[in-house]
Each structure stands twice: as structure tokens, then as C-alpha cells.
Amino acid sequence: MAQRFGGKYSPDPSATDTTKGPNDRAAPPVAPRASGAARVNLLYLAPLPLLFTAFRQDAVGMALDLVAAAVLVFATFTLSEGLKAEAAYRARKVARRPALPRKIIAAVLSGFGVVLATYHPAESGLVQPLVYGAIASALFLGAFGIDPLADKNVEGVDSFQQDRVARVVDEAEEQLARMDAAIHRSGDRTLERRVEAFQTTARQMCRTVEEDPRDLAAARKYLVVYLQGAAEATVKFADLFSRQRDPVARASYTALLDDLEANFAAKTKTLMDGGRTALDIEIDVLRDRLRREGVRME
């Protein structure tokens, strides 16, 4: 969908540059992007010939072609979801493997769809359709790979703590996705970019907690309670703003986002500074111990 871009030098005076947070640091990407999206879109065209040949056959042949087309479309959709899950997995330092291996399931579905498309009841045997299906599944996996099959952890941190971090970050991502879906209903491009800027700041806190899970206790209220409240407020605002373009409600919601982003950025900076302080303390303790052992460090 076309989207108008705004900024400091945009002709639209209401559009402001929101690509940076209040601390003016370089912002990470707003959301992970799935690779191979263009190839996935092309796969939706693959079942089209079956729709033309289905109505030139008898009832059984028509049913087989239509079911094969539906299976291939569902396989492509499953692949798309698998690529999104893989992109989110690779973007995070602590992540659990996808609950469902969607890419592998999509490969099996594509092979089954090819079997149905190449099977003709009038001809005896399933050997050739099964061979075609196996080749299609193998090519599918060769083109898109398999799903991540192991959890991604940080060295030196126990699995229980990492699992807690993964659950909290998963919940935070769900709330951010709710905000994104809700604000798009408002139809206000400037507000959409404003929400994206806040999401960037919130995800920066998620990355900080993933790098040092010991910060989870301090950041949990922000990533669970505050993000849930922000998502609820966004849903209510979008419902109201889509019915009547109330400038007062818009100003109040923008002020809420400004306040939330400032608080999230300040808390993230505190977490990062706390990590550096802890590191300095550990270095001083190590130096004292080496000095007691008779090791001099210039």
C-alpha cells in the first residue's frame, strides 16, 4: 500500500520526523522482515493452472485439481508465516524455537498438493505422483530451508532465566502487534509513524533485557504492564478516532505516546548504565584479588 512520507522538510507541517527516540540514538529496525517474501508471493500463482484445467475434467478429476490448488495455497500461506517466525527468531538474542515447524509443514503440504495435481484416476499406480511430490518437497526445502529447531540462548545464563526472558519478550511483542494493528485502523499516517517510533524504543528495551537477563526484574513492569496498557489505550483510541476525528483525543493520545517513550528510553538507559556499573565493580574485585595473589597490573 502506498504511504506518504513526512519529515522535517515535508510539505505537510503536521508530519514530524519520528525516526529517533527522545534520546536521539540510532534506532534499530522497527520490526524484523521476512526474507524471500517476493518468492513466496510468486508461489501463490502456481495453483492457477489447476483452476483452468479442473473444469475440463470429470467430477473426480475436477475435485482433485481443486483440492490440490487449495492445498498449494495453504502451503504457501504456511510458508509465509514460517518465514515471519524465523525472521523474529533471528532478530532476537534470546528466543524459543517456533512451536510449529511451519516451513517443514509447508514443504510436506506442497508435496501432497503436487501428488494430488499429478494423480489421474484413469491411470494406474501412485508411483509417479509420489515421486513428483517428493521432488517438490525437496526443492521446497532447498529453496527456503527448514525452521529453527533449537532455542537461542545467551552463554553464561541459566536456561530457566532465559526462558523467563523469552516469555516476557514474546508477550511484549504481542502487545506491540496489537498496537500496530489498532493504529492502522485510524487511517492517520502520522500517528502510525509515531507508534512505530515508540515500538522501536520498546524493542530497544527488549534487546537490552535479552543481552542481560538479570535486568528482567527491573524491566518486567514496563514490558508487561505498561505495554498492555499502551495497547489497550491504542485500541480504544483507534475505535474512537475511526468514528470521529476528534483532535482533542488525538492530542491526548500523542501526549501519552510521548510520555511512554520518554519513560521507556530513560529506563533502558538506566538498565544499560547499571550493566556498565556492575562490570566496573567486577573488574575492581578482580583487580583486588589479583593484587592479593601477587599479580601486578599496570
Positive or negative, the CA dihedral 165, 169, 172, 178 is negative
- At 285, the pLDDT band (50, 70, 90 cuts) reads low
| CA Rg value for the chain | 26
Statement: residue 150 has pLDDT above 70: yes
**What span, in angstroms and rounded, lies between the C-alpha atoms of 244 and 239?**
9
**Interval 259-286 mean pLDDT:** 69
- Specify the pLDDT at position 277: 52
pTM (2 d.p.): 0.55
Model pLDDT for residues 45-77, shown as the tens digit of each residue = 888 888 888 888 888 888 998 999 999 999 999
Q: What are phi and psi of 137, to 5 degrees?
A: -65, -40
Per mean pLDDT, which range of 84-98, 139-153, 170-184, 196-210 is the poorest?
Answer: 84-98
Buried b (16+ CB within 10 A) or exposed e, 189-222: bbbebbbbbbbbbbbbbbebbbbbbebbeebbeb
The ranges assigned to domains in the chain are 37-144, 159-292
- At 135, the pLDDT band (50, 70, 90 cuts) reads very high
Which has the closest alpha carbon to 118: 175, 217, 177, 50?
Answer: 50
| DSSP string of 193-214, one letter each residue | HHHHHHHHHHHHHHHHHHH-GG
Q: Which region, left, alpha or beta, applies to residue 5 given φ > 0 means left and ψ of -120 to 50 means alpha? A: beta
Angle, helices 59-91/102-118, rounded to nearest 10 degrees:
160
Asked if 6 and 60 count as a contact pair (C-beta separation under 8 A), the reply is no
Statement: residue 159 has pLDDT above 90: no
**Interval 262-277 mean pLDDT:** 75
- Alpha carbon 243 to chain centroid, angstroms: 30
Q: Which region, left, alpha or beta, applies to residue 10 given φ > 0 means left and ψ of -120 to 50 means alpha? A: beta
- List the Cα angle 51/56/58 in 5-degree steps: 110
Q: Which residues contact 90 (CB under 8 A, 6 or more apart)?
A: 32, 148
Q: Which region, left, alpha or beta, applies to residue 77 given φ > 0 means left and ψ of -120 to 50 means alpha? A: alpha
- Specify the pLDDT at position 288: 61
**What span, in angstroms and rounded, lies between the C-alpha atoms of 171 and 224?**
7
**What span, in angstroms and rounded, lies between the C-alpha atoms of 173 and 158?**
23
Statement: residue 230 has pLDDT above 80: yes
Distance of CA 174 to CAs 80, 192, 212, 282, Å?
Answer: 18, 17, 21, 36
Statement: residue 219 has pLDDT above 70: yes
